[in-house]
Amino acid sequence: MNQPVATLSRLRSVELRTSAASESADFYENVWGLSVVERGSEGAWLRGTGDEHHVLQLTSAEQNGLGRITFAVRTPAEVDEAARRLGARGVPIVAGPGPTGEIAAGYGVSFVDPEGRVIQLLADAYAVTTMHRSDAVPVGVTHVVLNTVDIDAAVAFYTDVLGMRVSDWSEHQMAFLRCNSDHHSIAFNQAEWTAINHVAYEMPSVDHFMRGIGRLRHHGVVPMWGPGRHGPGDNTFSYFADPAGLVCEYTSGIAQVEEDRWLCRVWRRVPELSDTWGTAGPPSAEVRSHMAGVPDDGPFAHRADLRVSADR
Residues of this chain that bind Fe ion (CB under 5 A) = 200, 249
Q: Least distance to Fe ion from the beta carbon of 280, Å?
A: 12
Backbone angles phi, psi at 197, to 5 degrees: -90, -55
**Residue 254 · residue 142 · CB < 8 Å:** yes
Q: Considering the complex, state which of residue 53 and residue 229 has its C-beta at the smaller distance from Fe ion.
A: 229
Residue 212 DSSP SS3: helix
Interacting residues of 218 by C-beta distance below 8 A, sequence separation 6+: none
Q: Where are the alpha helices (DSSP H) in 36-163?
A: 76-89, 151-160
Q: Which helix (H) or strand (E) holds 290?
A: helix 285-292
Residue 199 DSSP SS3: strand
Q: Least distance to Fe ion from the beta carbon of 94, Å?
A: 27
Q: Considering the complex, state which of residue 165 and residue 307 has its C-beta at the smaller distance from Fe ion.
A: 165
Q: Considering the complex, state which of residue 74 and residue 288 has its C-beta at the smaller distance from Fe ion.
A: 288
Q: Least distance to Fe ion from the beta carbon of 35, Å?
A: 22
Q: Least distance to Fe ion from the beta carbon of 251, Å?
A: 6
Q: Considering the complex, state which of residue 83 and residue 280 has its C-beta at the smaller distance from Fe ion.
A: 280
Handedness of CA 103, 31, 147, 312 (dihedral sign): positive
Q: Considering the complex, state which of residue 96 and residue 283 has its C-beta at the smaller distance from Fe ion.
A: 283
Q: What is the Cα–Cα distance from 1 to 141, expressed in whole angstroms?
A: 32
Q: Least distance to Fe ion from the beta carbon of 186, Å?
A: 10
The DSSP code sequence of 223-240 is -SEEEEE-STT--EEEEE
Q: What per-residue string of b and e applies to 138-151 under the rule 16 or more CB within 10 Å gives b?
A: bbbbbbbbbbbeeb
What 8-state DSSP symbol labels residue 292?
H
Q: Least distance to Fe ion from the beta carbon of 28, Å?
A: 17
Q: Least distance to Fe ion from the beta carbon of 221, Å?
A: 18
What are the beta bridge partners of residue 140?
A: 202
**Residue 6 · residue 75 · CB < 8 Å:** no
Q: Considering the complex, state which of residue 157 and residue 201 has its C-beta at the smaller distance from Fe ion.
A: 201
Q: Considering the complex, state which of residue 104 and residue 151 has its C-beta at the smaller distance from Fe ion.
A: 151
Q: Least distance to Fe ion from the beta carbon of 200, Å?
A: 4
Q: Considering the complex, state which of residue 120 and residue 236 has its C-beta at the smaller distance from Fe ion.
A: 236
Q: Which helix (H) or strand (E) holds 289?
A: helix 285-292
CB-nearest residue to Fe ion: 200
Tell how strand 43-47 and strand 10-18 pair up: unpaired
What 8-state DSSP symbol labels residue 171?
T
